[in-house]
Structure formats: structure tokens, C-alpha cells
């Protein structure tokens, strides 16, 4: 027996009994109502429901009216509409008005249960994500207040601030710290080789280090899921770019870095996300970061494969020049010797490398 309660609304007693029996046999506690008016009374009684299954064609109050009134008072509760009218416009109309999905009579038990499971899972993910978001906003607000009082010192010592925010992300993913430091070092190295001004490199370094900070807003059930994500979970995961942007842009001296956080999953040919930016629409720092991120991904151990060589990473990045990567930046990257990248990684892993001195990252390969 699950704890997820379902309200079944239909003006035909036989249908109510059949649907209630199907759901009950699958372990769902159900309550029935014979009309839209009765359903509102049940909902108003205070008994909590996780899902409502309602017929569309009912006397006195039809299902669409019930849907509208239910959404006003219980916006978190998904509603599945049931209709015998084989008119797709009716079903689509109910979805436009807020229904999660619809079923056409007659339906089979497995069809009903599959739709119910999807609706309940969708509700769970939304509630979980909202809970994480509220918790994150409270933490960010508190942190921002602390940062505001020490802004002068933070502007001189941005690496300390970055480390503090990185530590917060480590609470979600124990591997983040090493990845963020390596990607930042690689990004600084390429930017130096390109001749990017020092002040701009500082901005790029901040954006590179904080690129995954938005994952703090992603539920652990999704972030740490061992198997493949569902379509809905992938959409939630993709929100980390925007969530990170919202976090970082609130800190005044990280405003420019926030744009890199927002765009770090964009592709040069416009097929990336979240905004589908193309070419030079993508901030320079994000275009440089994309190469450093891929270099680290290929040369690091993953659960599904061992780390590959720097040469393998160079060939992979070269292959996708003009599609995923800016070809001009790829050319600069390929001009840096393999030995330099190997030495830089060794320095980072042994704690020799410090972000307070960004030019150290490329002196050996300049």
C-alpha cells in the first residue's frame, strides 16, 4: 500500500467502482466522488490527495470546471481527465487548462496505472525540486548578506570566495572540487595562450570554477542517480545552468562570471542549451571553458571507462571544431604541448597549483 492518495470523480457509480478497484489493487488508497460539487467538498474537508482522476462529462459541474477550481486551490495536485468523447480538442483543452494528462474510455488497467505513475512521479520531482530551490535561496540569501559586509576584501581575494562557493557545491558532489579546479586551470591556460587580458582571465576563471554551482538546486535523487535519467529528469538537470546564473549574478563582482555559468553548455553551432546561442553569441569565456571541460572529462576516470590520454582528448576536440567548439580556440589549444597538460594536472593534484597566480598555469606552455 502506498501513501499516495487518489480522488476518483465520476457520475457513473460503475465507473467509479471499476477505477477505484484498479487503483486499489495496485496499492493506491482511493476516495470516490459522484460529481464535481462533491469532489470540491471532499477536497475542502482537508483530506490530502496527491492526484485527482476526473471524468470530463458530468452533470451540474463538468470536469473542466472542476479542473479550473481545483487548480486555483490545489495547484500542486496533478489532475488526469477521463472522457469517452473521442475528440482530441476536448482532451487538449483540458491539458491547456492545467490537466497533467487524459485517458479515453474505455481504457485498460495497465494504461491507467502507467498514467497515474507518471503523474505522481512528475508531482514528486516538482515538489522535491521546489524544496531544494527554497532551501538554496535561503542559503544564498544568508551567504550574500555575509558577503556584502566584506565586499572590499572579497574583491581583492576572489579565489577565497570561489573556494567558499565550491565547498558548498562539494556538499552535493564529492568529486566537484577536483573537477572545478582542473577545468579552471585548463581554461586559464588556453586564455593566456590566446593573449586574453589579465582582468578578463580573472572573470573567466571565476565563471569556470563556478560553472556547476547550479547543481546545488538539483535534487540528489537526480544528481546522484546511478542509471540513465528520464526525459523529465534530464529537463530538470538542464536547469542547473540557469540556477547557477541566478545564484552567481546576485554577487556584484561575479556579474560577468555569471554569464559564463549561464552559457557553459552552449555549442558553437547553436545546438547546445539552455538558449541555443551560436558562434560569438556565446561569451568568450564559455567557449574557452568548453575545451577545458572536455579535456578534463576525457582524461579523468569515469564509472563507465578509464581515463584516456591527452592526445585522445586533443583528437576528440579537433573532431568537433566548428560544431561543439570554436575552431579558432581549438587551434590555440592544439598548439599547447601534451606534456604541459600532463604537468599542469600533476601540479593541481599535488596542490602545487594556486588560482591566485593565474599566469603560472601557462608559463611552461607559452
Q: What is the per-residue pLDDT across 196-245, written as a single tens digit (0 to 9) for each?
A: 999 899 899 989 989 988 988 888 888 878 788 899 999 999 999 999 99
Q: What is the per-residue pLDDT across 49-71, written as a single tens digit (0 to 9) for each?
A: 999 999 988 888 888 999 999 99
Which part of the chain is CATH 1.10.3210.10?
150-365
Q: What is the CATH superfamily name and number for domain 150-365? A: Hypothetical protein af1432 (1.10.3210.10)
Q: What is the pLDDT of residue 128?
A: 86
Q: Grid coordinates in use for 140? A: 544564498
- The Cα 72–Cα 50 span in angstroms is 15
Which residue, 240, 250, 206, is CA-closest to 132? 240
pLDDT at residue 162 greater than cutoff 90: no
Q: What is the pLDDT of residue 119?
A: 93
Chain CA centroid to CA 160, Å: 26
> Is 249 a catalytic site residue?
no
Integer distance in angstroms from the first to the last C-alpha of the chain? Answer: 66
Is the separation of the CB atoms in 310 and 299 below 8 Å? yes
Which part of the chain is CATH 3.40.50.2300?
6-121
Q: What is the pLDDT of residue 51?
A: 95
Residue bearing cell 556579474:
255
* Beta carbons within 10 angstroms of residue 276's beta carbon: 12
Question: What is the SS3 assignment for 287?
Answer: helix
- The Cα 119–Cα 123 span in angstroms is 6
The four Cα atoms 282, 259, 297, 170 give a dihedral, to 10 degrees, of -170
- Predicted structure pTM score: 0.55
Which residue, 265, 266, 279, is CA-closest to 322? 279
Average per-residue pLDDT in the chain? 86
- Residue tagged active-site, from 172, 181, 193, 215: 215
Q: Which of 30-34, 41-45, 85-89, 281-285 has the lowest mean pLDDT?
A: 85-89
What 8-state DSSP symbol labels residue 352? -
CA Rg, the chain, in Å?
26
Q: Which of 146-150, 236-240, 360-364 has the lowest mean pLDDT?
A: 360-364
Q: What is the CATH superfamily name and number for domain 6-121? A: Response regulator (3.40.50.2300)
pLDDT at residue 194 greater than cutoff 90: yes
Amino acid at each position: 500500500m502506498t501513501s499516495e492518495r487518489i480522488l476518483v470523480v465520476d457520475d457513473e457509480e460503475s465507473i467509479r467502482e471499476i477505477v477505484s478497484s484498479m487503483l486499489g489493487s495496485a496499492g493506491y488508497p482511493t476516495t470516490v466522488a459522484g460529481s464535481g460539487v462533491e469532489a470540491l467538498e471532499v477536497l475542502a474537508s482537508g483530506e490530502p490527495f496527491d492526484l485527482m482522476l476526473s471524468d470530463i462529462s458530468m452533470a451540474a459541474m463538468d470536469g473542466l470546471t472542476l479542473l479550473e477550481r481545483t487548480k486555483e486551490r490545489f495547484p500542486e495536485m496533478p489532475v488526469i481527465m477521463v472522457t469517452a468523447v473521442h475528440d482530441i480538442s476536448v482532451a487538449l483543452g483540458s491539458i491547456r487548462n492545467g490537466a497533467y494528462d487524459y485517458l479515453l474510455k474505455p481504457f485498460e488497467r495497465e494504461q491507467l496505472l502507467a498514467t497515474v505513475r507518471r503523474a505522481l512521479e512528475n508531482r514528486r520531482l516538482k515538489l522535491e525540486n521546489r524544496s531544494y530551490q527554497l532551501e538554496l535561496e535561503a542559503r544564498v540569501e544568508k551567504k550574500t548578506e555575509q558577503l556584502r559586509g566584506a565586499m572590499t576584501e572579497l574583491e581583492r581575494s576572489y579565489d577565497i570566495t570561489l573556494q567558499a562557493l565550491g565547498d558548498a557545491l562539494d556538499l552535493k558532489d564529492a568529486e566537484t572540487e577536483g573537477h572545478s579546479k582542473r577545468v579552471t586551470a585548463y581554461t586559464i591556460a588556453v586564455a593566456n595562450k590566446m593573449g586574453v587580458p589579465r582582468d578578463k582571465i580573472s572573470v573567466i576563471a571565476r565563471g569556470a570554477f563556478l560553472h556547476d554551482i547550479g547543481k546545488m538546486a538539483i535534487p540528489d535523487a537526480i544528481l546522484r542517480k546511478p542509471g540513465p535519467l528520464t526525459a523529465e529528469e534530464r529537463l530538470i538537470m538542464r536547469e542547473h545552468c540557469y540556477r547557477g546564473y541566478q545564484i552567481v549574478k546576485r554577487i556584484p563582482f561575479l556579474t560577468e562570471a555569471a554569464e559564463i555559468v549561464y552559457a557553459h553548455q552552449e555549442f558553437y553551432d547553436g545546438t547546445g542549451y539552455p538558449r541555443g546561442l551560436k558562434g560569438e553569441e556565446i561569451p568568450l569565456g564559455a567557449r574557452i571553458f568548453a575545451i577545458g571541460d572536455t579535456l578534463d572529462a576525457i582524461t579523468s576516470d569515469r564509472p563507465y571507462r578509464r581515463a584516456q590520454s591527452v592526445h585522445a582528448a586533443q583528437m576528440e576536440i579537433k573532431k568537433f571544431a566548428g560544431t561543439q567548439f570554436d575552431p579558432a580556440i581549438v587551434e590555440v589549444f592544439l598548439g599547447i604541448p601534451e606534456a604541459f597538460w600532463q604537468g599542469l594536472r600533476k601540479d593541481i593534484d599535488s596542490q602545487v597549483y594556486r588560482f591566485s597566480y593565474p599566469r603560472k598555469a601557462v608559463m611552461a606552455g607559452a
